[in-house]
A and B are shown apart, each in its own frame.
Chain A
């Protein structure tokens, strides 16, 4: 019984992280209808910036979180103005190829600049924390990552739903023409969406360095889950991503206890099941 409780707890903790990683992806899609295939690489860059803050300046990943967020926010802006703005309104295939191209480019660049070696932050502060409740162990890194993920996801949701700028971004996403009639500059809102998505992803990367290692292909693991979570929760819905993330995390944890090589299959099976009943995902609107 304790093992099951442990698996569920592990699942919830990592599910929160899946949700945060998915936030940036779902935001971009919700606002611009563009699937960002370079999302995993933005995450990877966030992880690297956190690692280098630690290895070069001795900053704990928690301390350098704002830096990681800022760095990838900048990356998001660069991606928007450099690549996305040029394929806006063009064929979906062109948009897919564009973001996919950035993915390949960033992976190659990372290997070129930093070698393919795996980089780990040894002994982050989070390591010193360890809780044990009724036989269930909650590791410091897992807890910190989950708390950070929940706070950040909540912050992004609050910004998007309760502030004027957030409303403006959503308006630009719903109907750019009407939005511009209301005095909103859609292009600027799109850029802002990329900045926010980048910031959230950068923070996610920084949080991940508390328990994971970075390498040029580090984005692969989490971005697959991110895509599942986004599709499952509904493209464009942050709340959907949050719920889906938790569900996927718990499913993986529980299945891992009984059929350990089918954890990925379990996550995808869950998604297929929901999509049969509700093609737009749990909380999706289209």
Chain B
């Protein structure tokens, strides 16, 4: 009995000591010629496809920084970070498994392991939420490129920076598109929202309602569904009953495919379907739905057609295709841009101390010409949001996404109603 108690005591002491590791990183790299950043994305689980795509975008950015490329992009033409004597950028990856609590504990694990200057992540807004909160407490900058939930930059955090557009920006883009269509004579009076019941879906619905109100459009349907719901017939039936002119959709891949099949089965398509990316941007969605998804439109932070307007975008898209045998997507483009911006901030700070990097991020200005994105540049406001990020609207026509708005990037006219795009 005594022996058991002693062992128990020793085990609890050991666990206790392990648990109280140092809670702040002093930012010093293990080697002076290496700058370590942590990248946390869903590399397993139901969003692993997107997670790996995002990881590839980040890895490519690290390569561009460390190598010498004749491109008009920050840090491309020099090897490594010149502000730190040519130090190489190293990306340490962690798998969030798509779960908010794992994302947070991964931040703990990597940052407490020492030597991490900043953290990047984490695709799903729900995971980015918790992971960045942990980074805030540990006093390490958290840079996000691909999570769009507006709530992320409304928390008053000092260490969180989002380079990509928020769903509010995307909503604004989509409502601008709708205004343009209304001017062309299409009926745009009522709005419906069909969304997945999680951080991304709920925040997106909230912001859609807000902007709809501002633009004088009535929201007649707001229907949500469980992310793992096997049947969406009832939800689509509800939407059909309200007959909205425009239906906003927030769904990940499986649900997006299920939705299109349900629309086809019930022979109901809204005149215009506008998705907030996510599942609709996944190549597996295109492969899985074929012709029945034609006419669906989606907001996007990037499109391959942008490459024609920005030479650096074309070169990077080709590099990506060659390296990973898959096309660059708006997710990998966004993560690429966020890592490049982070690298530039570290370079500007000439230091790996988290606080110096944070100051450099707050002061960062990247002009539009030095981006592969269709944005006006990168400048963070006090909330950590890049106010110059923009979205485009693309529509599935003939099995391929084509940019239809804004005019400067559009390669074709939108098809309205969406059934006109179907065979």
Q: Which residues of A come within 8 Å of B, CB atoms?
A: 3, 6-7, 10-11, 14, 17, 107-108, 111, 115-120, 122-123, 130, 137, 139, 141-142, 211-213, 215-218, 220-222, 224-225, 249, 252-257, 260-261, 263-264
Contact = CB atoms under 8 A, between A and B. Distances in A.
Contacts of A257: 234, 237-238
A221 B224 CA distance: 17
B55 to A, nearest CB: 12
B226 to A, nearest CB: 5
B234 A224 contact: no
B284 A117 contact: yes
Contact of B46 (A6, A212, A217, A253): A217
A139 B237 CA distance: 14
B327 to A, nearest CB: 14
Contact of A118 (B224, B238, B284): B284
A118 B288 contact: yes
A137 B267 contact: yes
Contacts of B187: none
B269 to A, nearest CB: 14
Contacts of A255: 234
22 contacts: A10-B234, A17-B230, A116-B47, A118-B282, A120-B287, A122-B287, A122-B289, A142-B265, A213-B253, A213-B257, A213-B288, A215-B46, A216-B48, A218-B254, A224-B228, A252-B234, A253-B231, A256-B225, A256-B234, A256-B235, A261-B224, A263-B226
B266 interface: yes
A221 B237 contact: no
Contact of B290 (A119, A122, A252): A122
B145 to A, nearest CB: 20
Given A139-B265, A224-B228, 14 more contacts: A11-B231, A14-B230, A14-B231, A111-B44, A116-B45, A117-B283, A119-B284, A123-B290, A212-B258, A215-B254, A222-B230, A254-B234, A260-B224, A260-B225
A218 B255 CA distance: 12
B279 to A, nearest CB: 9
B351 interface: no
B241 interface: yes
Interface residues of B, number: 40
Interface string B210-241: 00000000000001111011111111011001
Interface in B249-268: 253-254, 257-258, 261, 265-267
Task: Name the residue among A10, A119, A222 with the largest chain B CB count within 10 angstroms.
Answer: A10
A50 to B, nearest CB: 14
Contacts of A252: 229, 231, 234
Given A3-B241, A119-B284, A257-B237, A225 B230 contact: yes
B44 to A, nearest CB: 6
A17 to B, nearest CB: 8
B49 A118 contact: yes
A122 B286 CA distance: 10
Contact of A221 (B51, B230, B284): B230
B234 A213 contact: no
Interface string B26-53: 0000000000000000001111110110
Nearest to A215: B46
Nearest to A218: B254
A135 B194 CA distance: 23
B97 to A, nearest CB: 10
Contacts of B257: 118, 120, 213
Task: Name the residue among A6, A122, A142, A260 with the largest chain B CB count within 10 angstroms.
Answer: A260
B197 interface: yes
A252 to B, nearest CB: 7
Closest 4 CB pairs of A and B: A256-B234, A120-B288, A116-B48, A139-B265
B348 to A, nearest CB: 36
Contact of A10 (B49, B228, B231, B282): B231
A241 B232 CA distance: 23
A137 B235 contact: no
B287 A260 contact: no
A139 B267 CA distance: 10
Contact of B238 (A139, A225, A260, A263): A260
Contacts of B45: 116, 217
